């Protein structure tokens, strides 16, 4: 619904919504589905059916009393997996120098991840850089907001949100968003001038 509200004031270009009012950008990436969690959901469902079939074979129709109980126990876990591991998206937004990331669960529920002035970003790089490993160790918090967690092609940025220490956010911007971020912070611009960086 939020996307639809931009229809009359925005131009959609390659995943970006360019706001005609303030030049802001919005970009959505989908988290790659992890086969392990899909497998777990099938295992839970299959185990439940197997238990019901076994009880039906040994005790008769009482099995149909067990079935709703099993479903009630399994449903919250499956819903949690679907929301947080399978149907997960991230929206990156940039407006008036403020960069934000929101988590979108099941294409419905939104929760904010971070919102920070681009000028407050103190480090920027790619996960394949040597500096990324150092930040993974010393950052007070590491948040994965990218398509696939273990991805050296992803980027990261460091910022101190609410003076709680350096936090590391890992994301997958495309060239348009990166170029827009460069305009607000020389740290990001200079990162692309390093020898061997981002090749």
Report if residue 127 sits inside a domain. yes
Three-state SS annotation for 18-73:
EECCCCCEEEEEECCCCHHHHHHHHHHHHHHHHHHHHHHHHHHHHHHHHHHHHHHH
pLDDT at residue 136, rounded to an integer: 95
Could you tell me if 41 and 125 lie in one domain? no
- Could you report the per-residue pLDDT of 156-193, keeping only the tens digit for each? 999 998 888 999 999 999 999 999 999 999 999 998 87
> Above 90 in pLDDT, residue 92?
yes
Report if residue 166 sits inside a domain. yes
Domain extent, residue 60, equals: 35-86
- Could you report the per-residue pLDDT of 10-53, keeping only the tens digit for each? 333 334 444 434 457 888 888 766 565 556 666 666 666 676 66
CA distances from 125 to 37, 74, 154, 172 (A): 30, 41, 9, 11
Could you tell me if 67 and 152 lie in one domain? no
Q: What is the mean pLDDT of residues 83-98?
A: 82
Specify which of 84-88, 92-96, 129-133, 192-196 reaches the highest per-range mean pLDDT.
92-96
């Amino acid at each position: 619904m939020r996307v639809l509200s931009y229809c009359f004031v925005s131009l959609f270009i390659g995943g970006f919504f360019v706001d005609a009012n303030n030049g802001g950008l919005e970009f959505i990436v989908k988290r790659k589905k992890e086969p392990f969690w899909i497998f777990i959901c099938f295992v839970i469902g299959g185990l439940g059916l197997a238990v019901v079939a076994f009880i039906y074979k040994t005790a008769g129709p009482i099995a149909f009393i067990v079935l709703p109980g099993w479903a009630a126990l399994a449903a919250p876990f499956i819903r949690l997996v679907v929301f947080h591991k399978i149907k997960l998206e991230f929206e990156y937004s940039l407006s008036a120098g403020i960069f934000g990331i929101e988590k979108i669960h099941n294409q419905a529920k939104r929760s904010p991840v971070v919102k920070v002035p681009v000028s407050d970003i103190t480090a920027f790089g790619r996960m394949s850089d040597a500096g990324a490993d150092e930040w993974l160790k010393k950052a007070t918090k590491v948040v994965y907001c990218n398509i696939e967690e273990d991805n050296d092609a992803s980027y990261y940025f460091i910022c101190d949100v609410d003076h709680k220490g350096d936090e590391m956010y890992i994301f997958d911007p495309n060239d348009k968003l990166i170029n827009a971020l460069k305009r607000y912070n020389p740290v990001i611009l200079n990162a692309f001038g390093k020898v061997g960086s981002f090749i």
